[in-house]
Amino acid sequence: MSTTNGNDTAAADSSEAVSGEAVLRASDVAVELAGRRVLRNVNIHVGLGELVGLIGPNGAGKTTLLRTILGLLHPVEGGVFIEGHAIRPGRVPVGYVPQRQDFAWQMPVSVADVVMTGLTGSLGLFHRPGAEQWKAVAEALDRVRMREFADRPVEQLSGGQRQRVLVARALALRPSLLLLDEPFTGLDMPTQELLSDLFVGLAHEGRAVLMTTHDILAAFDVCDRLVLLNRTVVGEGTPDQLTSDPQLWMRTFGVGENSPLLRVLKVTQ
């Protein structure tokens, strides 16, 4: 586990980050939006077979970091590497599950059509999907237990079903890296459990999974490691390691030593 002293950044040791097993590595990343630096000195890595939780308060930069990993934002300092290559959209399949409210569910399309949009980048705009692409769509829907809904209009789905469709869209790429942005928000417990089991299973199959979430207890339950982020990496380690240092949580969330957060997480000195 890494911690901070003063304004120093806590991050994974660089020797870990450059490991041959690291699918994702962000090195000294700084990002500015509208002239304001929203991320600084961010160092993280996600290895093969790992499910890593990215934890922090609203405005900490979690979604900004995911968008930077996807190549949608460009760092002003540092770099992002996937399988050893500098990030470039389309070079390496990256599955991305956005927050559910960021998708236009009113579109008059079927569940299968939405999942197929996950393959648009690999197909190109002017190529029609073939048998192999539809097979990938069917396999992805099977993984999230939505195959029977393939022909249903997406506007008719429940919130939990919609989240599973977004996960299937990401899985259709058969990605080596999966990015999840708040996948549990607003879901009932059975759907959370289904998705938790799925994400753990995907990691065990050898994928690298990075998940942002406000559900800290769920992250403690399913993640191999947690990264505490508030504009920079405040600390990282296994859930057990992070319960030994309340200062990390106090700095990350801006709470005091008597915060209910520390009691709920049973963080001890």
Task: Outline where DSSP puts E strands in the chain.
Answer: 22-33, 36-47, 51-55, 77-82, 85-86, 94-97, 177-181, 208-212, 225-229, 233-237
Picking from 39, 45, 41, 40, the residue whose alpha carbon sits closest to that of residue 13 is 45
With respect to residue 55, please indicate whether it lies within any of the assigned structural domains: yes
pLDDT per residue as tens digits for the range 73-132: 999 999 999 988 887 755 567 899 998 777 888 888 999 999 998 887 666 666 777 888
Here the tokens at position 85 are: 């290559």
The CATH number assigned to the domain holding 19 equals 3.40.50
Number of independent structural domains in the chain: 1
Q: Is the pLDDT of residue 6 over 70?
A: no
Is residue 62, in this structure, part of any structural domain at all?
A: yes
The boundaries of the domain holding residue 75 are 1-92+224-269
185 found inside a domain: no
In a domain, 9, yes or no: yes
Alpha-carbon distance of 210 to 47, in angstroms, equals 10
Is residue 53 a part of any domain in this protein? yes
Bigger pLDDT: 83 vs 224 = 224
Is the residue at 58 inside a domain? yes
The answer to whether residue 139 sits within a structural domain is no
- Residue 214 inside a domain? The answer is no
